[in-house]
A and B are shown apart, each in its own frame.
Chain A
Amino acid sequence: MTKLPQFVRSRLVIRQTAPAEHPNANLLAAFAEQALSVHERASVLEHLARCPECREVFAVGSAPAADPQKPAIEWWKWRWTAAAAAACLIAALFWRPGSFQHSIEERIAPAASPSAAPEKEKPVQPISPVVTSPRHFRAKPSPPAAAPPPVLTLRQTVKLPPVTLNLAPPEPARVAPQATSLEMREPGRDLSKESARAQLKPPAQSRAGTMALDGMFQQRPHTNLAKTRLRQFSRSEEEKSLWTLDGVLRKSDDRGKTWRVVPVGGGDARLYALSAAGADIWTGGEDGALFHSMDGGRVWKPVIVANTDRRLTDTITSIEARDADWIKLKTHSGDWLTTDGGRHWRRQ
């Protein structure tokens, strides 16, 4: 709207000289309803143009009446809120639960392992296979890629509380994730910055009749993997075995009492992603390394992830296997999907 100069306004104010006789309510009502003759209308309009008091009355009288039927909360004022809520609901319905796992884990970590913070201040102790805190499983730091993988001797030292690894009969509903941390100490390493948390969760989409976890935990980007490495547990109802990852693949066949390193492919690549459904295990990690076992981890077959253009060389951070054929890998550079059990891959 064009601004009227102040000077013009002031001259307009000077011209607001109301005549002595004001139009009564009859005339104003008729003017509002356009029921006056042209001459009468012009005279009323002329008066209104010069009389601020009558303009005020006329403006107030022309205000629309309040609607008593109008609800206290007008729905249309909330239309954007409703739209946002609907969008959130849709996102919650269609978003893969694993996508939020990382943030969820971060949130529950302090509550699940309250002893983590004080233990950071403890001096580094010589390596001891004895677990100092059964609820705090702290992994040793990630060595550089060139360094040899650590030899971990857990023997019967890792004791997970039975309540944590609830291996009771399979439940269709999601088991509340419980962070379980064990601490392994090693001389000369600053363990205070590292923590590995393991969470147990039933599979979102397991194969028929199996209770397995596949690709539920997404990990941080590669730079953060060294700081906080997630332990990925998976459970096979058939074999009563547990799987975990902390750079290497570990397996427990006695419900977590003892753990053993499972050699995978004989390579040096560190493993950060795991999907286990029954005896069908997929694991992947650095440099696009991907391995597949169909016999519960006894025989491993390397899988080359490539399409016609390029080969996957990035770190695999998550594996999602919906069935024997549909497997999806997540990397920092994008997702890879196969629908024929790993023979052909396409980048997404």
Chain B
Amino acid sequence: MDDLARACAHGNEDAWRQFVSLYREKLYRAAVAMARVDSVGRELADAFYANLFGTRLGKDGRRISKLESYLGRGSLEGWLRMVLAQDYVNRFRAERRLVRFVESADIRPRGIYVAPDNAKLAEATDIALTTLSSEERFLLSAHYLDGCTLAEIGRMLSLHESTISRRLEKITAALRKKILRGLRDAGSGRREAEEMLEVDVRDITLNIRERLTQERQGESI
């Protein structure tokens, strides 16, 4: 464990002064970068700093500092950033839940649609996904599900975004091949397998207004 963090956790004033001089500005900058709004970021950083200092007292009358949970696996700065990120995400999720509660009428049910006749495709896809490594699934999830950019994923994995792009291309192509092979193994023809993979009602965009207008015109005729 970092000596500075240990000293701060034990309430050493000199250590706190040093901590403030070393990390307070960095914490502000990190919080502003996370919140993307200066005032929100500063508020987040101030609240986090209070938690680090310790606002609650233990049974022995000593302040309970969040720094006590730092184990020294990574750098103190990296740990501070991760804890700050956790605080921000928790705060954001709480606000999001409030918003969703108020606007619950607008929320669509988040069910996973699986057409019954796509059982073969689902099985082939699941098998193909299990063959992927954890890093490959992380890349797919971060990019296609979370909407992270290549640069963001690159920062997470300490890789260049072009590397992430190449890997994603490779993974996607390999996954497609595996699914098609699984479908053919299940008895589907090549063309049928490709159609099953390509045709998805969610990929089709319909102009409802245009369709309704056409239907109305058809009825009037």
Q: Is B truly associated with A?
A: yes
Pick from B99-107, B110-118, B184-192, B212-220 the stretch touching chain A.
B110-118
Is the CB of B197 closer than 8 A to any CB of chain A?
yes
**Would B197 and A57 count as touching, CB distance under 8 A?**
no
Bitwise interface map of B from 67 to 87 toward A, beta carbon under 8 Å scored 1, else 0:
001111111001101111110
Is the CB of A52 closer than 8 A to any CB of chain B?
yes
Minimum CB–CB distance from A7 to chain B (whole Å) comes to: 5
Q: A2-B169, A16-B141, A49-B137 are in contact. Are A59 and B156 (CB under 8 A)?
A: yes
Q: Which residue of B lies closest to A43 (CB)?
A: B134
Q: A6-B203, A46-B134 are in contact. Are A57 and B74 (CB under 8 A)?
A: no
**Would B29 and A66 count as touching, CB distance under 8 A?**
yes
From A1, A8, A12, A57, give the contact of B165 (CB < 8 A).
A1
Is the CB of B221 closer than 8 A to any CB of chain A?
no
**Would B155 and A62 count as touching, CB distance under 8 A?**
yes
Pick from B10-18, B56-64, B143-151 the stretch touching chain A.
B143-151
Minimum CB–CB distance from B64 to chain A (whole Å) comes to: 17
| Interchain CA distance A4-B28 in the complex, whole Å | 38
| Interchain CA distance A111-B14 in the complex, whole Å | 76
Minimum CB–CB distance from B14 to chain A (whole Å) comes to: 25
From B29, B30, B85, B141, give the contact of A57 (CB < 8 A).
B85
From A6, A26, A55, A67, give the contact of B79 (CB < 8 A).
A26
Which of A52, A53, A62 has most chain B Cβ within 10 Å? A62
Q: Which residue of B lies closest to A33 (CB)?
A: B74
| Interchain CA distance A65-B32 in the complex, whole Å | 7
Contacts of A67 in B (CB 8 A): 29
Minimum CB–CB distance from B217 to chain A (whole Å) comes to: 32
From B25, B75, B112, B144, give the contact of A4 (CB < 8 A).
B144
Bitwise interface map of B from 37 to 51 toward A, beta carbon under 8 Å scored 1, else 0:
000010000000000
**Would A10 and B114 count as touching, CB distance under 8 A?**
yes
Q: Which residue of B lies closest to A7 (CB)?
A: B200
Contacts of A5 in B (CB 8 A): 176, 197-198, 200, 203
Is the CB of B3 closer than 8 A to any CB of chain A?
no
**Would B129 and A59 count as touching, CB distance under 8 A?**
no
**Would A35 and B82 count as touching, CB distance under 8 A?**
no
Q: A52-B145, A57-B85, A57-B89 are in contact. Are A4 and B126 (CB under 8 A)?
A: no
Is the CB of B122 closer than 8 A to any CB of chain A?
yes
Is the CB of B6 closer than 8 A to any CB of chain A?
no
Contacts of B125 in A (CB 8 A): 7-8, 11
Q: Which residue of A lies closest to B126 (CB)?
A: A11
Main secondary structure of the interface of B (DSSP, over half): helix
Contacts of A24 in B (CB 8 A): 69
**Would A12 and B152 count as touching, CB distance under 8 A?**
no
Is the CB of A262 closer than 8 A to any CB of chain B?
no
Which of A10, A11, A48, A58 has most chain B Cβ within 10 Å? A11
**Would A63 and B34 count as touching, CB distance under 8 A?**
yes
Contacts of A34 in B (CB 8 A): 158
Q: Which residue of B lies closest to A48 (CB)?
A: B138
Is the CB of B135 closer than 8 A to any CB of chain A?
yes
Minimum CB–CB distance from B166 to chain A (whole Å) comes to: 11
Is the CB of A306 closer than 8 A to any CB of chain B?
no
**Would A61 and B33 count as touching, CB distance under 8 A?**
no
Q: A11-B129, A25-B82, A59-B146 are in contact. Are A66 and B203 (CB under 8 A)?
A: no
Is the CB of B179 closer than 8 A to any CB of chain A?
yes
**Would B73 and A29 count as touching, CB distance under 8 A?**
yes
Q: Which residue of B lies closest to A8 (CB)?
A: B125
**Would B74 and A4 count as touching, CB distance under 8 A?**
no
From B71, B121, B146, B168, give the contact of A56 (CB < 8 A).
B146
Contacts of A11 in B (CB 8 A): 122, 125-126, 129
Is the CB of A36 closer than 8 A to any CB of chain B?
yes
Is the CB of A64 closer than 8 A to any CB of chain B?
yes
**Would B78 and A32 count as touching, CB distance under 8 A?**
yes
Q: A34-B158, A56-B89, A64-B155 are in contact. Are A7 and B79 (CB under 8 A)?
A: no
The 8 closest A-B pairs by CB, nearest first: A61-B85, A29-B74, A29-B78, A30-B74, A25-B82, A30-B73, A49-B137, A49-B138
Residues of B within 8 A of A (CB): 25-26, 28-30, 32-34, 41, 69-75, 78-79, 81-86, 88-89, 112-114, 118, 121-122, 125-126, 129, 134-135, 137-138, 140-142, 144-146, 148, 152, 155-156, 158, 165, 168-169, 172-173, 175-176, 179, 197-198, 200, 202-203
- Extra A-B contacts (13), CB below 8 Å, given A26-B73, A52-B146, A68-B29: A7-B121, A12-B129, A12-B137, A25-B82, A31-B74, A32-B78, A32-B158, A33-B74, A42-B134, A57-B85, A58-B82, A59-B148, A65-B32
A-B residue pairs in contact (CB < 8 Å), sample of 12: A5-B200, A5-B203, A29-B74, A31-B74, A32-B74, A49-B138, A49-B141, A55-B141, A56-B89, A57-B86, A57-B89, A63-B33
